Amino acid sequence: MVRISGIEIYHEKIRYKEPFRIALGTSTESNNIVVRLVDSSGNEGWGEGSPSRAILGETLDLVFEEAKKLAAEILGKDLDSEGLYEIVMKSKSPSAAAAFDIAFHDLKAKRLGVPLYKLLGGYRSSIETDITIGIMEPDEVAERAEKYVKMGFKVLKIKLGEKPEKDLLRIEKVRERIGDKIGIRVDANQGWSVEEAIYMAEQLESFNVELIEQPVKWNDFEGLAKVRKASNIPVAADESAKTPSDVVKLAKIDAVDIVNIKLMKTRGIWGAIKVAAVSEAAGIKNMIGCMGETRLGITAAVHVSQALANITINDLDSDLLHGEEVVIEGGASISNGVRRAGDRPGLGIVKLDMSKLRLISRYGKV
Query: CA 176, 178, 180 angle in degrees (round to 5)?
Result: 85
Cα–Cα distance list, 232 to 166, 308, 348 (Å): 21, 27, 40
Active site residue 262: yes
- Please tell me which residue in 8, 187, 239, 317 is annotated as part of the active site: 187
Q: Which of 291, 339, 337 is nearest to 318 (CA)?
A: 291
- Please tell me which residue in 157, 242, 262, 356 is annotated as part of the active site: 262
Is the CB of residue 300 less than 8 Å from the CB of residue 273? Answer: no
Q: Which of 44, 106, 80, 108 is nearest to 331 (CA)?
A: 106
Query: CA 300, 303, 308 angle in degrees (round to 5)?
Result: 130
Is the CB of residue 146 less than 8 Å from the CB of residue 119? Answer: no
- Please tell me which residue in 108, 110, 159, 356 is annotated as part of the active site: 159
- Please tell me which residue in 58, 66, 238, 293 is annotated as part of the active site: 238
- CA-based max dimension of the chain: 60
Query: What are residue 61's DSSP bridge partners?
Result: none
Active site residue 238: yes
Active site residue 12: no
User: For 287-311, b where at least 16 C-beta lie within 10 A, e where not — what string?
Assistant: bbbbbbbbbbbbbbbbbbbbbbebb
Residue 308: how many CA atoms within 13 Å on its side-chain side? Answer: 28
- Please tell me which residue in 44, 213, 239, 319 is annotated as part of the active site: 213
First to last CA, the chain: 19
- CA pair distance 170, 42, nearest whole angstrom: 52
Which residues form the catalytic set? 159, 187, 213, 238, 262
